Amino acid sequence: MTALLDLHIRDKRFDQRVVLHDVSLSLNAGEVVSLVGKSGCGKSTLLRLIAGLDRRFDGRIALDGQPLAGVSPHIGLIFQEPRLLPWLTVADNVGFNRDSHGAANADPRIRSLLQEVGLLDAIDALPKQLSGGMAQRAAIARGLFNQPRLLLLDEPFSAVDAFTRMRLQNLLLALAAQHGFAVLLVTHDIDEAAYLSDRVLVMGQGEITDDLHVATARPRSRHDDALARTRDRILDALEAIHAI
């Protein structure tokens, strides 16, 4: 079976500084994978390469066996901050790239997505009227508007409180299950990585050092002893890197 995403980055540099070296990664359709590692190890850079925002590297990236040559409508990207356009309503932000005419708040696809993320009542609100969690839900809806095969997330829940973060994590899993897209998530939160992921990729400096399978069945309890053991495995892998 062909992997949904398959890549090998032989070399990625900023000037003369090596950022990524000999990185291989593959994701299957519907898989949820987290990338963990210390700040500056190359996690966000890797996401930018996959998203097509940076093409200056030596290597290959393929989606469904087809080489990627820039930004793809089949790949969605959600940043750490919602990055909503402040002069547009929630509906207009979600459907920013739509080709159809007419009011965005009447578009059935936009209304359906906002219903799924619990924001239909805020369809005509401006970003300044939203809480942090609501704004990030709007960003998730925007990321799903083009019906991506792969959703990339760069620390998407780090700016919200703990309870909102847990709700957003559950929302992401529910949407991934419903729509069938794969997820590649950059996070510094080991609990988040263990709870959300089918696999956790541990990054050293510019390279992937461990690929940890999370065998715990879904739906998962955050208090499951098996998840605690997974957290220990992630910590051990990170500590092994830092001990070198």
The kind and range of the H/E element at 59 are strand 58-63
pLDDT confidence of residue 243: 60
Give the model's pLDDT for residue 15: 87
Per-residue pLDDT tens digits for 16-30: 899 999 999 999 999
Region 191-216 average pLDDT: 95
What pLDDT, in 10s, does the model give residues 54-92? 999 999 999 999 999 889 999 999 988 899 999 999 999
Q: What is the pLDDT of residue 177?
A: 94
User: Would you say the C-alpha torsion 108, 113, 116, 117 has a positive or negative sign?
Assistant: negative
Q: What is the pLDDT of residue 77?
A: 93
Domain with 149 in it: 5-242
**To the nearest whole number, what is the mean pLDDT of the chain?**
93
pLDDT at 99 over 80: no
The answer, yes or no, to whether residue 244 has pLDDT greater than 60, is no
Distances (CA, A) of 46 to 96, 123, 185, 193, 207: 25, 33, 11, 17, 10
How many structural domains are present in the chain? 1
Whole-prediction pTM value? 0.94
Residues of the chain with pLDDT > 70, as a percent, come to 98
The 8-class DSSP code of residue 216 comes to P
| CATH code for the domain in which residue 115 is found | 3.40.50.300
Q: Residue 213 has what pLDDT?
A: 96
pLDDT in tens, 204-234: 999 999 999 999 999 999 999 999 999 999 9
Separation of CA 216 from chain center: 21
**The two structure tokens encoding residue 239:** 């500590």
